[in-house]
Structures are given as C-alpha cells and as structure tokens.
C-alpha cells in the first residue's frame, strides 16, 4: 500500500472521541481523536494499557497515507491524561472506565462538582455521597477505581519517560501490575528475565536512565547471567569460571575483581550453580544443571530391566518382517533388530542412505504384532511429518506430544502424568537440546522402552548441549551405527557426496558427461559473481530443468547469516527476484525486512501461545494495515501476527544451515565462499547437503569447499552430561 511518511517523529495531541478498538491483552488500540490543528477527527493507531473516550492523549509517531482510509497516525508512544474540559470529563466518567460510574452518574457528578470532580474522588470520596443514589459502597468503589486508573497512568508515564515503548510498557504493567514502578526502579535488570522481548541490553539502557552506575553490583550480578546466556546461545550448558569472568569483563566493561565478588553473591543466592567438568571449575545456569542430572538419572533408570513386550526370537521375527515389508535387511540391520528387541533403551545412528528408516520400520512392525503402544516424536513439525510418512504411524512434535501449556510455560506430561506408551521413538535426536530431552525422558513411564534415532555427524542442536553425541559417547546404552550405503541409495550423488564430506574427502563436483544428476557445482569466485548466479539458479535454471517451484521447492541454505552471500542479504535479492510486489500491494516494513503477501517466512523463536516453533516455515497470506496484523499459513494452519510481533519471523528464501536442521527440501542451493571461513566446518557442509532430497547445488569456490571438508574445529560444548551418564553406570550395555 502506498505509504507517506511525513515525519518519523511527529507529535500529535488531542481528545479521544471514540475508541474503535482496544485489546486489553496487548494494549493495541485504534482511536478517533479530535486533534489540535486538525479540522476533522484523526485515526490514531497505537498501544495503551487502558483508554477511554474523553481522555487526552499525547502521541509521537508518523503518518501513513492509507489507500482506503486516508491519513492515519501510527503512534510509537501514547501518553494518556485525564480530560480537563467538562464535556471531556463527563464522557470519561460515563465510559465505564471507573467501576461504579456509568453515563447517568457521570452526568450527576459533573453537575455536582464540575472540574473539581477528580479531586473530590481522590481526596474527599465521602463527599460523593452528596450525589443522589451514591451510598457508601458505591462511593468506596468509585474511589478504588479512580486509584487504579491513576496508578496505571503513573506506571505508563514512568516507563515511557525511561525509553520503554508503549507496547512493552503495557507488557510490563500486565506482568507486575501496580508494583511495576518500585520493582523496575529497584532492579530494572529483572525485566530481562521476566518480560518477553526485553533482553539485558534494553534493561541496561533503562538502568542507565535510572542512574544506576556501570560498576554497580546489581549490574555486575545481572551481567553474569547475561554472559552465561550468551554462552548458552553458543550451545554451552556451562562455562569454566575463568572463561565466564573474562567474557563478562568484555561484555560489561567491569573489572574482574568486582565480577568475582558478584559471582560469589550469585552462587550464594542460587541464581547460578557451580560444578566441575573434567578438572575445570564451571558455572551453570541452574535449570541446565538440573536438566543434565535428570537426563542421566532417567536414562540409566529406563535402561535397566526387561523391555515391556514378551520375549521375541529375532531368528523368527526378522524373516517374518522382511516378508511383510518386502525388504532384505543387511547384517548390521539384523544385529540391530536383535539388540532392539531385547533392550529398553537403544540408539540408532548413521548418515543418509544407510537404512535407518528401514530398520526403525522393521522394529516397529515386529512390536506392533505384539500389541504394544508406540509414540513417535521429532523436534520439528517437518521432521514429525516425515516420520509419519515413513512409518505410517502418527508422529508428533515433542512439544505436542508432551502437551505444552502456554499458561504455565511447562509441559502437562511429566513424572506425575506420564505418556501412555510402551515404546517412545525419538527421531532427529541430534537437534534435541538438554532441556527438551530432560522434559521428554521425565515423561516416559518407567516400564517403557526408548529408541533414540539420529545422525550424530550432523550439527549439534541449536540449543545447549550435544545430547545425542554424549549418549553415544558415554557407552551406557547399546548403539547401532549403520555405515553401509544401500544399493538403491548408492546411485544418488547427494548421498555419495554427503558420505565423502563426512569422511573428510572432496565431493565429486564434475557434472556427468550426459543426462541429469542430483548434485551440481556452479563456480563463482567472487561474492559479486555468486549472488546473481544463485538468483539465476533459483529463479530459472532449477525450475526449468527440474519443474520445481522456485519458492516452495527450493531452499537456499547459507553457512552464515551476515555478509554479501549470507542469508540476510540473499533474502533481499531473492525477494526482489521472486516476489517483488506492486505499488498498490499491501506491505509492512518491520525489523529490517519488508513483507508482502506470498513471501516465504520462518519462525525464529518458539512461540507457545501461537504453537509455532523455531524453524517452522510459512507463507504470508494476508496483510491488514488497518488492524496492523499479518496472517501466515504454516502447513495449512493460519496464524495471525501483530506488526509488533514480526521480530519473531524472518524472510526465508534463504536461511542458515543451522536453522534447516530436521528439515528436508526437494532442492537446496548452498553458497560456499571463503568469506564464510569462520563457519566452514565439515559437519556444517554435511548437514547442508543432507537437507536436499532430490537436488543439491553448491555455488561458490572449490577452495571454500576444501576448507569446509578439512574443517574439524574443536568447538567443544561445555556440558557434563557424558560424565554424569558414566558416573555410577552399571556397566557398558553395548
């Protein structure tokens, strides 16, 4: 839609004539205002904790020229004050905002006390009883209602004066209520823990405006948790104490002696926990320390005892299932079936084309004949869908299986209310982080068996820990590692090259002399050369040759987010090529991206209220600039986002290989340049290649591919899970 931005920081003030819409939950509102200097009523869109006709607003923001509704003022800040004119006061009191007063009593009160009515309500509420029909109960209710409205106003004014946007101020008020001002004044850093969308940096800015010194102990203590969270964001469950102090010193610019004192206070308060990993003294966030403990104790408990099904003779079961499925199992698969039938916990791992799916199906078919209840789970919606298709049994995301409860922020399924199954199969386990695995294992009933499936050579989880690698490395449960590539898979260059990369060998890059293959390399020696080649491959070459849809079937997977050939930059170029839009088409600019109907987008964080999770891909189906919301279709389910919530999503014509974990795409295009050197590692390239189902195209430099193939960096993740699993283990079950 055409937009005219008159002034990004223009001011507007006026009387609220009508509240067209107001959401008590989010504070979003559409107002009709009689503004100073404007002859006609003005439409203002913004956020306010409470708003009523008759109130006076001061707003700052910008004008939008809407095609259907004309000029609208989009307010980034709204400050609401009580009305001063008699007409405004009467409308305000009659709006129902204050309990005990409606239109009739609003008129009576203004007639009795005029402009002094607010002073009477606040300072002399007994005088209200002079008005006919107001007794002691109603007078008390009116005084209490006024006090509540005044408190809300003071809170909003306080927060806005310290740089908090109106939408976030509403969120803070909804969380803390009337205690918001003292709580935030005393410790603004609590906002980073309690309020979604506010991190340490924002809380730090508020603290600075409140006059809190950079070297204050309250900042040092909050900063240690922030530094630990930064480490968790890089996959760690803990950090060695000296590494944590060095990182905090760098992030906070606070001298180490002060941080050492802060560390001691945080440990004593129980906000962080210390433990040893090997011979290093390490610091954990408590929930991760407990989650590791829970995984180790639960896994060892589940692994003991007999499986829940009657004894099965593999020599009879294997020929039976081969006949049922029409397959011939390899020797390694036969051994694995035998182990699975006699074990309560087992791991199945291996790369593409080695028969993991056939093995899992064989085990499930044998156990189904014995009548056991099976539950199937995977970390993402796409992985769960693929598991359902390959097994013929309904699979759920782990969050759905555990019945996530948005109100409590936890799962309904737990030790107290376990899953109802005899066998739990977890697929794509390389993606499962420590907290999620702890929740999952806690929900498994004691009698049940667990089958853990995944490719340990892929990238570890985005979240903290390396659960699959640690379970395999601990040796406390049987592991079937499949390595033999099956004949039908050996014709695929995707699979051959994935295994070559995994072994540290260069993939075969030369195209076949004739015919079509499923793996191509397009050389591009400079970023300026690579970007147009990637666009050409996605927009024309692959669709023309393979009949694929450039938006729905082809996914560009980048080693990193930043840079000229990073996901962010490529998203802009691919959007221009694939969905450029027209001048009269609705569009919204938020958080560095412009969104249009038809755009491919990805959810970038878990949103449990919407039941949309990190990595889910959807398509924009509508944009409403009046209601300021956007509808995204995720696999047939439409989800509405307010424009202020668009920091949860990003364009997804291109994404990072990390974000693609657990997903498969008909075709993937992978830019690989030496400018990505920081991220060029073997498991990254291997993971990217294995995302392609029918086609993989590498675009870039042979030198960069060589760097990735040789790149096995020691990116150790600080976690104690492997140690915990081996401590007190009852012997190696493998």
Which residues make up each annotated binding site for ATP? 353-357
Q: Cβ-count burial of 150 within 10 angstroms (0-12 exposed, 13-18 middle, 19+ buried)? A: middle
Percentages helix, strand, coil for the chain, rounded to the nearest 5? 40, 20, 35
Task: Report the alpha-carbon distance of residue 417 to residue 309 in Å, rounded.
Answer: 22
Task: Report the alpha-carbon distance of residue 362 to residue 336 in Å, rounded.
Answer: 10
Task: Report the alpha-carbon distance of residue 626 to residue 43 in Å, rounded.
Answer: 10
CA within 13 Å, CB half, 434:
29
Task: Report the alpha-carbon distance of residue 452 to residue 429 in Å, rounded.
Answer: 7
Structure tokens at 275: 């433990």
Structure tokens at 204: 């730090």
Distances 188 to 209, 229, 568 between C-alpha atoms, Å = 10, 18, 32
Task: Report the alpha-carbon distance of residue 39 to residue 543 in Å, rounded.
Answer: 56
DSSP 8-state assignment for residue 518: S
Task: Report the alpha-carbon distance of residue 179 to residue 551 in Å, rounded.
Answer: 49
Q: Which residues pair with 404 in a beta bridge?
A: 411
Task: Report the alpha-carbon distance of residue 89 to residue 107 in Å, rounded.
Answer: 9
Annotated binding-site positions: 353-357
List phi, psi (to 5°) of 575.
Answer: -65, -40
Tracing tokens 């450039």 back to the chain, one arrives at 550
Tell me the residue ranges of DSSP E strands in 129-253: 238-240
Q: Which residues contact 602 (CB under 8 A, 6 or more apart)?
A: 615, 616, 617, 618, 649, 650, 651, 652, 655, 659
Task: Report the alpha-carbon distance of residue 588 to residue 569 in Å, rounded.
Answer: 18
Q: Are 65 and 71 in contact (CB under 8 A)?
A: yes
Q: Are 380 and 615 in contact (CB under 8 A)?
A: yes
Instruction: Write out the DSSP string of 381-408.
Output: HHHHHHHHHHHSS-EEEHHHHTTEETTT
| DSSP strand pairing (629-634 vs 637-642) | antiparallel
- As a dihedral over the C-alpha atoms of residue 58, residue 63, residue 66, residue 70, rounded to 10 degrees, the angle is 70
């Amino acid at each position: 839609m055409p937009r005219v931005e008159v002034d990004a920081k223009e001011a507007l003030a006026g009387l609220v004539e009508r509240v067209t819409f107001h959401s008590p939950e989010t504070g979003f509102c559409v107002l009709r205002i009689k503004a100073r200097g404007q002859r006609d009523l003005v439409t203002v869109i913004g956020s306010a904790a409470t708003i009523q006709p008759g109130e006076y607003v001061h707003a700052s923001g910008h004008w939008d020229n809407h095609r259907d509704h004309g000029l609208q003022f989009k307010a980034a800040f709204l400050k609401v004050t009580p009305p001063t004119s008699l007409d405004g006061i009467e409308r305000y009191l009659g709006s129902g905002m204050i309990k005990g007063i409606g239109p009739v009593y609003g008129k009576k009160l203004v007639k009795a006390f005029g402009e002094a009515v607010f002073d009477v309500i606040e300072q002399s509420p007994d005088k209200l009883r002079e008005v006919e029909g107001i007794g002691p109960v109603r007078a008390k209710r009116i005084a209490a209602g006024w006090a509540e409205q005044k408190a809300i106003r003071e809170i909003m004014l306080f927060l806005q004066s310290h740089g908090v946007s109106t939408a976030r101020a509403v969120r803070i008020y909804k969380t803390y209520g009337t205690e918001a001002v003292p709580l935030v004044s005393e410790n603004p850093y609590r906002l980073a823990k309690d309020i979604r969308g506010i991190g340490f940096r924002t809380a730090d800015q508020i603290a600075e405006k409140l006059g809190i010194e950079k070297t204050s102990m309250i900042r040092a203590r909050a900063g240690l948790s922030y530094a630990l969270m930064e480490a968790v964001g890089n996959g760690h469950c803990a950090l060695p104490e000296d590494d944590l102090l060095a990182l905090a010193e760098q992030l906070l610019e606070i001298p180490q002696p002060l941080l050492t004192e802060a560390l001691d206070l945080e440990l004593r308060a129980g906000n962080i926990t210390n433990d040893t990993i090997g011979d290093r003294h390490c610091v954990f966030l408590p929930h991760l320390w407990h989650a590791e403990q829970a995984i180790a104790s639960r896994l060892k408990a589940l692994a003991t005892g007999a499986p829940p099904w009657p004894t099965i003779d593999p020599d009879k079961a294997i020929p039976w299932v081969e006949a049922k499925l029409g397959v011939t199992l390899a020797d390694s698969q036969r051994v694995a079936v035998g182990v699975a039938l006699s074990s309560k916990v087992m791991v199945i791992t291996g790369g593409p084309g080695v028969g993991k799916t056939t093995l899992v199906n064989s085990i499930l078919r044998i156990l189904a004949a014995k009548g056991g209840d099976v539950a199937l789970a995977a970390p993402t919606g796409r992985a769960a869908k693929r598991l359902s298709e390959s097994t013929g049994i309904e699979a759920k995301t782990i969050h759905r299986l555990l019945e996530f409860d948005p109100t409590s922020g936890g799962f309904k399924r737990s030790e107290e209310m376990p899953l109802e199954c005899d066998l739990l199969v977890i697929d794509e386990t390389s993606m499962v982080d420590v907290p999620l695995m702890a929740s999952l294992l806690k929900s498994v009933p004691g009698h049940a068996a667990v089958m853990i499936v995944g490719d340990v050579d892929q990238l570890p989880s985005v979240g903290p820990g390396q659960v699959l690698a640690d379970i395999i490395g601990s040796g406390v449960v049987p592991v079937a590692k499949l390595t033999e590539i099956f004949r039908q898979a050996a014709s695929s260059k995707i699979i051959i090259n994935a295994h070559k990369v995994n072994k540290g060998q260069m993939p075969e890059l030369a195209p076949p002399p004739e015919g079509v293959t499923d793996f191509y390399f397009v050389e591009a020696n400079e970023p300026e050369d690579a970007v147009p080649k990637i666009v050409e491959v996605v927009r024309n070459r692959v669709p023309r040759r393979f009949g694929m849809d450039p938006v729905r079937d082809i996914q560009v997977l980048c080693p990193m987010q930043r840079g000229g050939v990073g996901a962010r930059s490529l998203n802009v170029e691919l959007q221009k090529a694939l969905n450029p839009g027209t001048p009269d088409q609705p569009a919204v600019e938020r958080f560095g991206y412009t969104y249009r109907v038809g755009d491919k987008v990805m959810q970038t964080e878990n949103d449990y209220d919407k039941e949309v999770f990190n990595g889910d891909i959807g398509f924009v189906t509508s944009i409403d600039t009046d209601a300021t919301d956007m509808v995204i279709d995720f696999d047939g389910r439409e989800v509405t986002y307010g424009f202020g919530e668009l920091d949860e999503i990003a364009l997804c014509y291109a994404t990072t290989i990390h974000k693609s974990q657990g997903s498969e795409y008909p075709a993937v295009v992978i830019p690989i340049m030496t400018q990505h050197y920081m991220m060029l590692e073997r498991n990254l390239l291997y993971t990217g290649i294995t995302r392609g189902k029918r086609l993989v195209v590498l675009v870039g430099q042979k030198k960069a591919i060589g760097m990735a193939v040789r790149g096995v960096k020691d990116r150790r993740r600080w976690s104690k899970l492997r140690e915990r699993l081996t401590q007190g283990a009852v012997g190696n079950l493998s």
